[in-house]
Amino acid sequence: YLTHMGHYVIMSHNNRKENMQNETFHITYFARKHKKFITRKGQYNKPDGTEGKSFVSKNGNPCLVYWDLDADGWRMATGEAKIRI
């Protein structure tokens, strides 16, 4: 669902998957590895067409596997995240 100021939460991606596949976006979420909030430029699919995915983990956390355009690799955002298109 759309929240204020054009942000989306991860759970909304299942509904928007068809529209997001080739759109670039900025995603912000808490990265446990870095122990802080990070923002990355990404897209749902890898440029070669390999699909990203969104799902709910066995612990009930929303997850989004997306292609990080800056690092040229897959990343997974877990928990609440905000996306700007």
pLDDT band at 82; cut points 50, 70, 90: very high
pLDDT band at 69; cut points 50, 70, 90: very high
Number of Cβ within a 10 Å radius of residue 6: 10
pTM (2 d.p.): 0.76
Rounded Cα gap, residues 44 and 65, in angstroms: 7
pLDDT, one tens digit per residue, over 9-51 is 544 444 455 555 678 999 999 999 999 999 999 999 999 999 9
Q: How high is the pLDDT of residue 22?
A: 72
Residue 40 C-beta-side C-alpha neighbours within 13 Å: 24
